[in-house]
Amino acid sequence: MTEVSSKGGTLNWLRERFPASFAAARMWLRRFGILPQILSLAIIVGVFAIGTKGKYLSWANIQTILSLAAIPAIYAIGLHPTIILGGIDLSVQGVASLCAVFVGILLKNQYNPNDVGLWIIPISIAIGGAAGVINGLLNTGLRIPSFMATLGMSWILYGMAVLIGKAVNVQILDARIESFVAATVLGIPQIAILAVLIAVIVQMVQDRTRFGRYMYAIGGDEVIAKQAGVKVKGIKIAVFTLAGAIYGLASLLLACRLGWATSRMGAGLLFPTITAVTVGGVALTGGIGGAKNAALGALIVTALNDGLVLMQVSPYIQQAVNGVVLIAAVALTLDRKKLGFIK
Amino acid sequence: MSDTSNGANQDTVVQLHQITKVYPGVVALDRVDLAVRKNEVLGLVGENGAGKSVLMKIMIGLEQPDEGTIVLRGEQIALRNSADSIKNGIGMVFQDGSLVPNLSVTENVFLCHEADFRKVGILSLRAMRDAARELLAQMKLYINVDLPVTEISSAERQMVEIARLLWLSRQYGQENPVLILDEPTTVLADEERNRLFSILQDIKKQASIILISHRLQEILENSDRIVVLKDGRNVTEIPAAEAKLSRIEQLMVGHTFSTDRFQEDEQVTPRDREILKVENLSKAGFFEPLSFTVREREIVGLVGLVGSGKEAVCNCIAGLDKADTGDIFLGGRKLPGGSPSAAVRAGIGHIPIDRRSEGLALMMSVAENVNLLVLNHLKTAGLLSPVREKKNAQYWISECQIKTPSIGTLCANLSGGNQQKTVISKWLSSRVRLLILDHPTRGVDVGAKDEIYKLIRRLAKEGIGMLIMCDTLEEDIGLASRMLVMKDGRLVKEIDSSSHNKPAPQDIIGLIV
Amino acid sequence: MADIEQADTAESQDARKRLMRTGRISPVYFTIALLVVVGLLFYLGNRNFLSLYNLNTIISFSAILLMVALGQTCAILVGGIDLSVGGLVSFISVVFILLIEPLGYLAYPACLLIGVIVGYINGNILTRIKIPSFIATLATGGILTSLAYIASSGAGAPRPVNLSPANYHVVDNIVNGRLLNVSKVLYIGFAVLVLFYIILRFTSTGRNIFYVGSNIKMSWMSGISISKTRNIAFILSGAGAAITGLLISSVRYGGDPMVGNAYILNSIAAVVVGGTALTGGAGGVINTLFGAIFMSMLDNGMNVVGINQYFQQAILGAMVIVGVTLTFDRTKTPIVK
- What's the CATH number where B184 sits? 3.40.50.300
From CA C169, how far away is CA C175, in angstroms rounded?
Answer: 10
* CA–CA distance, A329 with B399 (Å, rounded to integer): 54
Q: Which of B176, B224, B217 is nearest to B42 (CA)?
A: B224
Q: Which residues pair with B482 in a beta bridge?
A: B300, B496
Contact B487, B511 (CB under 8 A): yes
Residue B484: helix, strand or coil by DSSP?
Answer: strand
- C-alpha–C-alpha distance, residues A180 and A255, integer Å: 13
Which residues 6+ apart lie within 8 Å of A221 measured at CB? B100, B101
Where do the H-state alpha helices sit in C156-225?
168-174, 184-202, 204-214, 216-221
Q: How far is A251 from chain C (nearest CA, A)?
A: 20
| CB contact residues (below 8 A), chain C span 20-49, against chain A | none
Sign (positive/negative) of CA torsion C120, C126, C132, C138?
negative
Indicate whether B315 belongs to any domain: yes
Query: Cβ contacts (< 8 Å) between B103 and chain A: which residues?
Result: 213, 216-217, 220
Please name the chains neighbouring C, where neighbouring means 3+ C-beta pairs under 8 angstroms.
A, B
Which chain B residues are within 8 Å of C225, Cβ to Cβ? Answer: 341
Q: What is the pLDDT of residues C231-251, one digit of tens each?
A: 999 999 999 999 999 999 998
Considering only CB atoms, A209 lies closest to which of B107, B121, B146, namely B121
Residue of C264, C261, C249, C256 whose CA lies nearest to C158:
C256
Tell me how many helices (H) and strands (E) chain B has: 16, 24
pLDDT at C1: 31
Question: Which of A158, A270, A339 is nearest residue C313 as measured by Cβ atoms?
Answer: A158
Q: Is A183 exposed, middle or buried (0-12, 13-18, 19+ CB in 10 A)?
A: exposed
Handedness of CA C300, C305, C310, C315 (dihedral sign): negative
User: Do residues B340 and B210 both lie within one domain?
Assistant: no
DSSP designation for A6: S
B19 falls within a domain: yes
Q: How many CB atoms lie within 10 A of CB A114?
A: 13
* DSSP-based three-state secondary structure for C166: helix
For A154, nearest residue in chain C (alpha carbons): C317
pLDDT in tens, chain A (343 residues): 333 333 444 555 655 666 666 555 555 555 556 777 888 888 888 888 888 888 888 888 888 999 999 999 999 999 999 999 988 999 999 999 999 999 988 888 888 888 888 888 999 999 999 999 999 999 998 888 888 889 889 988 988 888 888 777 888 877 788 888 788 888 788 899 999 999 999 999 998 888 999 999 999 888 888 888 889 999 999 999 999 999 999 999 999 988 888 888 888 888 889 999 988 888 888 888 899 999 999 999 999 989 888 888 877 778 788 888 888 887 777 766 666 554 4
CB contact under 8 A, A208 and B125: yes
- Measure the CA–CA gap between B384 and C205, rounded to whole angstroms: 11
Beta-carbon contacts of C254 under 8 Å, excluding residues fewer than 6 positions away, are: C97, C160, C161, C162, C163
**Of the residues B431, B458, B473, the one at which a domain ends:** B431
Give yes or no for a contact between A85 and A218, defined as CB atoms under 8 angstroms apart: yes
Other CB atoms within 10 Å distance of the CB of residue A26: 12
Asked if C15 contacts C331 with a C-beta cutoff of 8 angstroms, the reply is: yes
Residue predicted with more confidence, C43 or B279: B279
Q: Please, are residues B299 and B481 in contact by the beta-carbon 8 Å criterion?
A: yes
Question: How distant is the Cα of C166 from the closest Cα of chain A, in angstroms?
Answer: 30
Write down the ipTM of this complex. Answer: 0.84
Q: C299: pLDDT confidence band, cut at 50, 70 and 90?
A: confident
Q: Confirm or reject contact between A122 and chain C (CB < 8 A).
A: no
How far apart CA B154 and CA C58 sit, in angstroms, is 64
- In terms of CA atoms, which chain B residue is nearest residue C217? B358
Asked if residue C16 has pLDDT above 70, the reply is: no
Contact assessment for residue B512 and residue B485, using Cβ atoms and an 8 Å cutoff? yes
Of B102, B107, B114, the CB nearest to A288: B102
Secondary structure in 3-state letters for B111-169: CCCHHHHEECCEECHHHHHHHHHHHHHHCCCCCCCCCEHHHCCHHHHHHHHHHHHHHHH
Q: Which residues make beta-bridge pairs with B16? A: B34, B70
Res. C266: pLDDT tops 50 = yes
pLDDT in the model for residue A18: 65
All residue ranges of chain B with pLDDT < 50 are 1-8
Give pLDDT tens digits for B322-363: 999 999 999 888 999 889 999 999 999 999 988 888 899 988
Dist. CA A190–CA A211, nearest whole Å: 29
Q: How many residues does chain A have?
A: 343
Q: B491's torsion region: left (phi>0), alpha (psi -120 to 50) or beta?
A: beta
Residues with Cβ < 8 Å from A208, sequence gap 6 or more? B122, B123, B125
Chain B neighbors of C3, CB-CB under 8 A = 28, 48-49, 51-54
pLDDT tier, C77 (very low <50, low <70, confident <90, very high otherwise)? very high
> For an interface test with A, which of B87, B94, B98, B102 has the most A Cβ atoms less than 10 Å from its Cβ?
B102
Size of interface B-C (CB pairs under 8 A): 130
Residue type, C239: A
C residues 261-280 closer than 8 Å to A (CB):
265, 278, 280
The full DSSP string for A256-284 is HHHTEE-TTTTTT-HHHHHHHHHHTT--T
CA distance B363 to chain A (A): 18
What is the number of alpha carbons within 13 Å of residue B287 lying toward its C-beta? Answer: 29
Beta-bridge partner residues of B104: B148
Q: Largest alpha-carbon pair distance within chain C?
A: 75
pLDDT digits (tens, 9 = 90+) for C51-73: 878 888 888 889 999 999 999 99
What's the confidence (pLDDT) of residue A77? Answer: 96
Residues of B within an 8 Å Cβ radius of A: 82-83, 98-103, 107, 111-112, 114, 118, 121-123, 125, 146
> Strand, coil or helix: what is B7?
coil
Q: Break chain C into its structural domains and give their ranges.
A: 56-304
| Record: contact C3-B416, CB cut-off 8 A | no
Residues of B in contact with C275 (CB under 8 A): none
C28 pLDDT more than 80: no
Q: How far is A58 from chain C (nearest CA, A)?
A: 27
Helix C184-202 with C226-252: angle, nearest 10 deg: 180
Looking at residue B3, its pLDDT comes to 45
> Is some CB atom of chain A closer than 8 A to the CB atom of C126?
yes
- CA distance linking residue C74 with residue C268, whole number of Å: 11
In this structure, what DSSP letter does residue B187 have?
A: G
User: Could you tell me which of B357, B299, B317 has the C-alpha nearest to residue B475?
Assistant: B299
Of the partner residues C6, C10, C207, the one whose CB lies closest to the CB of residue B416: C6
The answer to whether position B497 is within a domain reads: yes
- Say yes or no for a CB contact (<8 Å) between A284 and C149: no
pTM (two decimals): 0.82
Question: What's the pLDDT score for residue B346?
Answer: 92
Tell me what pLDDT residue B256 has: 56
CATH of the domain spanning C56-304: 1.10.3470
Q: Does A167 touch chain C (CB under 8 A)?
A: yes
Beta carbons of C314 and A163 less than 8 Å apart? yes
| Chain C residues lying within 8 Å of B410, measured CB to CB | 19, 23
Average pLDDT, chain C: 83
Contact A298, A198 (CB under 8 A): no
B226 and B248 Cβ atoms separated by less than 8 Å? yes
Residues B173 and B161 in one domain: yes
- pLDDT for position A31: 54
- What's the domain count of chain B? 3
In this prediction, residue A211 carries a pLDDT of 92
Do B286 and B426 lie in one domain? The reply is no
Domains delineated in chain A: 34-335 (1.10.3470)
Chain B residues 328-357 within an 8 A CB cutoff of chain C: 340-345, 350, 352-357
DSSP B242: G
Statement to judge: residues B145 and B238 lie in one domain: yes
pLDDT of C325 strictly over 80? no
Q: Are B295 and B476 contacting, i.e. CB atoms less than 8 angstroms apart?
A: no
**DSSP letters spanning B355-378:** IIIII--TTSBHHHHHTGGGGGGS
Is there a contact between B352 and C221 if contact means CB atoms under 8 Å apart?
A: yes
Given this model, what pLDDT does residue A30 score? 53
Interface mutation target, options A156, A157, A282, chain C, most CBs of C under 10 Å: A156
Q: In chain C, what residues touch B342 (CB-CB under 8 Å)?
A: 223
A315 in contact with chain C, both atoms CB, cutoff 8 A? yes
Q: How many CB atoms lie within 10 A of CB B186?
A: 17
- Do residues B300 and B484 touch, judged by C-beta distance below 8 A? yes
Is residue B264 situated within a structural domain? no
pLDDT at residue number A199: 95
Which residues, at least 6 apart from B53, have a Cβ–Cβ distance to it below 8 Å? B182, C1, C3
Asked which of B391, B409, B431 is the last residue of a domain, the reply is: B431
Are B190 and B291 members of one domain? no
Residue B166's domain spans which residues?
Answer: 12-252
Residues B180 and B207 in one domain: yes
Per-residue pLDDT averaged across C218-229, rounded?
93
Cross-chain Cβ contact A144/C139 below 8 Å: no
> For residue B9, what pLDDT is reported?
58
DSSP symbols for A295-337: HHHHHHHHHHHHHHHHTT--HHHHHHHHHHHHHHHHHHH--HH
Which member of A157, A222, A320 has the closest CB to residue C143?
A320
Tell which of B252, B280, B298 closes a domain: B252
Question: Distance (Å, rounded) from C-alpha B242 to C-alpha A183?
Answer: 85
Say if CB C159 and CB C97 are below 8 A apart.
Answer: no
The reply to whether residue C204 touches residue B340, judged by beta carbons under 8 angstroms, is no
The answer to whether B326 contacts chain C (CB < 8 Å) is: no
Same-domain status, B214 and B337: no
Q: How confident is the model at residue C21 (pLDDT cuts 50, 70, 90)?
A: very low
8 Å CB contact between A317 and C150:
yes
Burial class (CB in 10 A: 0-12, 13-18, 19+), B173: exposed
| Distance separating alpha carbons of residues B60 and B193, to the nearest angstrom | 25
* pLDDT reading at C337 higher than 70: no
Q: What is the pLDDT of residue C239?
A: 97
Please check whether residues B175 and B293 belong to one and the same domain: no
